[in-house]
Chain A
Amino acid sequence: QKEVEQDPGPLSVPEGAIVSLNCTYSNSAFQYFMWYRQYSRKGPELLMYTYSSGNKEDGRFTAQVDKSSKYISLFIRDSQPSDSATYLCAMTEGGGYNKLIFGAGTRLAVHP
């Protein structure tokens, strides 16, 4: 079993839809959770960074962490064609630096 599971998709939605992207994990020591967006042939771009359980909102993006279920989500409201990219979840333990563990990435296509 992988430490972080993420459905690779692809996920295709119409413009304006609400998108839900998810990751599950097995390591209960993970404390810090991130979502990255990666366009084709580019480096990942940090979208959201959250600590422990709870919600965090930034514009059209909302990140949720449920540590009891070992489940994290990223919601994109009013999706746009420019949101078409691969979304990678990443997480790490607390207590000083630990390397990031990435999910496989979910490919999202938002069509006009």
Chain B
Amino acid sequence: GAVVSQHPSRVICKSGTSVKIECRSLDFQATTMFWYRQFPKKSLMLMATSNEGSKATYEQGVEKDKFLINHASLTLSTLTVTSAHPEDSSFYICSARVGFHEQFFGPGTRLTVL
């Protein structure tokens, strides 16, 4: 099956700093990747859709200047949380689209902002 990796798996940072999370498709090329956020015991909330070579499409209510997404290649998308604050602490998960509708998810990144 399609394998998606994320790095780092866990990160702790100070308030005001920026954090970059990488999402890679390991054995396939992904023209479209997605970034989700998940709060404890809650479902996934789509933040943005990342298309290779073009600007990301953000969901309503997601600050594009705070959550910078870059999809520079067919196997890598990055999410940068800029000027992180404690309320940004969450579990961030990426996925890659395979075919028209299937999505394969990465293992997630737990961000803690102190």
Contacts and interface: CB of A to CB of B under 8 A. Distances in A.
A98 B101 CA distance: 7
Interface in A1-53: 8, 32, 34, 36, 41-46, 49
B107 A49 contact: no
B110 interface: yes
Q: Summarize B's interface: helix, strand, loop or mixed.
A: strand
Interface of B: 1, 4, 6, 32, 34, 41-44, 46, 49, 91, 93, 95, 97, 100-108, 110
Contact of B91 (A34, A41, A104): A41
Interface of A: 8, 32, 34, 36, 41-46, 49, 88, 92, 96-100, 102-105, 107
Contact of B43 (A49, A92, A97, A104): A104
B44 A88 contact: yes
Contacts of A49: 101-102
A11 to B, nearest CB: 14
Contacts of A104: 42-43
Contact of A42 (B44, B97, B107): B107
B12 to A, nearest CB: 15
12 contacts: A32-B100, A34-B102, A43-B4, A43-B6, A43-B93, A49-B102, A99-B49, A100-B101, A102-B43, A104-B42, A104-B43, A105-B42
A40 to B, nearest CB: 10
Q: Summarize A's interface: helix, strand, loop or mixed.
A: loop
B103 A46 contact: yes
A43 B111 CA distance: 14
A104 B105 CA distance: 17
A8 B42 CA distance: 9
Given A41-B91, A43-B108, A100 B103 contact: yes
A88 B101 contact: no
Given A41-B110, A46-B103, A92-B101, A103 B49 contact: no
A99 B100 contact: no
B58 to A, nearest CB: 12
